[in-house]
Amino acid sequence: MDKNDKRDFPIAFFDSGVGGLTVYKEVKKLLPNEDYLYYGDTINMPYGEKTQEELINIARKIFDFFAEKHVKAVVMACNTTSAMTYETLKNDYDFKIYPIIQSVAKVMSKLPVERLGVFATPATINSHAYAREINKLNPSIKITEIACPAWVRIVEENRLNQPQSLLQIKERVNEMLPHMPEKIILGCTHYPYLTEILKQFYPEKDLIDPSKYFAQFIKDDLASNPNGTGSEHFYVSSNPQNFKDASKLFCELKELPELVKL
Ligand code: DGL
C-alpha cells in the first residue's frame, strides 16, 4: 500500500514524556479532524542522557508498537530521537516518519539573524544536528549550542515554580549570554513549558518554538483524512497520573493515559 493511501489511519506521536504535546497541540490545531495516538515514554525519560544505541532500541520498539496500530505517520515530537535515530530508522517502516529538526531546518535557516542560539538536550547538542542542518542551507548564520541537562526533569517533575529550577535555568542562560544570539531555538519539545521563566531573560518574540513550523510542514505533506473524528488516545510507559498532571499547560487530558510498557 502506498504511504498516501493510508489517509484514514491515525497519526502517531511520541516523546519521552509531555514535551511532544507542544507539537501535538499545534498539529491538532491545523488538522482537527484527524485521529491521534500519543506515546509518552516516561520510563525512559530523559532521552537526552542516553546513548545513540539505547535511543535506537527505544525508538524501534515505539515504531513497532505503532506499526501494529496501523498508523499513517509517526511524528517524532522529540528533537533528541530526531537527531540520534532518524537516519538509522527512516527506511524501515511503511508509514511516514517526520523528524522535528530536519523538518524545520529550512524555515530556521531563513530567520533574519546573524547569530542564533540553540538550547537542547545533551544528546541533541553533541550531535550538532541543528547547526549542521541549518548551516547546510545557510552557512552564514553563526550558531551557539548549549546543552541543558536538568531542564526536562523540571518539566516532567512539575517543578516549574521552585527556586532551584530558576537557578538551573539561569546557569544555562548565563552560558548563552556572551554569544549574544538574536534569536534562540527551543531545541527540545519540553522547553516551551519553561517560556514563563525564560521570558525573564529574553523577550518572548526571540524565543523560537519550532513546533508551529513543524505542524505546518506535516500539514502540507500529509494526505488528510476526510473521515476522521478527531479522536485521541494517550499511552505512557510509567506513572499515568504524573503525565496527566505535567501535561496541563499544553493539553488537558480527559482521562488517564493507558499504561503500556514496550
Ligand atoms: N522532548 C525531547 C526532545 O525534544 C526529549 C527530552 C528528553 O527526554 O531528554 O529532545
Helix axes 129-137 and 100-109, enclosed angle (nearest 10): 40
Q: Is the pLDDT of residue 52 over 90?
A: yes
Are residues 20 and 87 part of one domain? yes
pLDDT digit string (tens) for 186-235? 999 999 999 999 999 999 999 999 999 999 999 999 988 888 899 999 99
Q: Is residue 56 part of a domain?
A: yes
Query: What percent of the chain has a predicted confidence (pLDDT) above 90?
Result: 94
Which pLDDT value is given to residue 1? Answer: 55
Same domain, 181 and 200: yes
Asked whether residue 31 is domain-assigned, the answer is yes
Domain assignment present for 5: no
251 catalytic? Reply is: no
| pLDDT higher than 90, residue 87 | yes
217 & 95 share domain: yes
CA 187 to ligand 1 centroid distance, Å: 9
CB 81 less than 6 A from any atom of ligand 1? no
Shared domain check, 188 and 114 = yes
Domain assignment present for residue 119? The answer is: yes
Judge if 21 and 78 occupy the same domain.
yes
Residues 163-179: pLDDT tens digits?
999 999 999 999 999 99
| Nearest-angstrom CA–CA distance, 90 and 100 | 13
Q: Inform me whether the pLDDT recorded for 49 exceeds 70.
A: yes
Beta bridge partners of residue 183, listed in sequence order:
116
Residues 56 and 125 in one domain: no
Looking at the fold, whether 204 and 146 belong to one and the same domain comes out as yes
Q: Which of the following is catalytic: 45, 148, 186, 188?
A: 188
Q: Please report the pLDDT score of residue 224 as a whole number.
A: 84
Task: Examine the residue annotation and report whether 148 is marked as an active-site residue of this protein.
Answer: no
* The pLDDT value given to residue 210: 98
Residue 254 Cα distances to 13, 199, 232, 249, angstroms: 18, 30, 10, 14
Q: What is the reported pTM?
A: 0.96
Looking at the 3D structure of the chain, how many domains does it have?
A: 2
Does residue 242 line the site of ligand 1, with CB under 6 A? no
- The CATH number of residue 227's host domain is 3.40.50.1860
107 and 36 within one domain: no
Residues 23, 189 contacting (CB under 8 angstroms): yes
| Structural domain contains residue 154 | yes
The reported pLDDT for the residue numbered 7 is 87
Nearest atom (ligand 1) to Cα of 100: 4
Instruction: Tell whether the model's pLDDT for residue 3 goes beyond 60.
Output: no
Lookup: cell for 261 = 510498557
Kindly state whether residues 187 and 111 are assigned to the same domain.
Answer: yes
Q: In this structure, are 160 and 180 located in the same domain?
A: yes
Q: Are residues 197 and 225 in the same domain?
A: no
Domain that holds residue 56: 11-99+213-259
pLDDT for position 97: 98
**One domain, residues 189 and 228:** no
Cβ of 124 less than 6 Å from ligand 1: yes
Contact predicate 78/50, CB 8 Å: no
The per-residue pLDDT of the chain, averaged, comes to 96
Percent of the chain with pLDDT over 70: 98
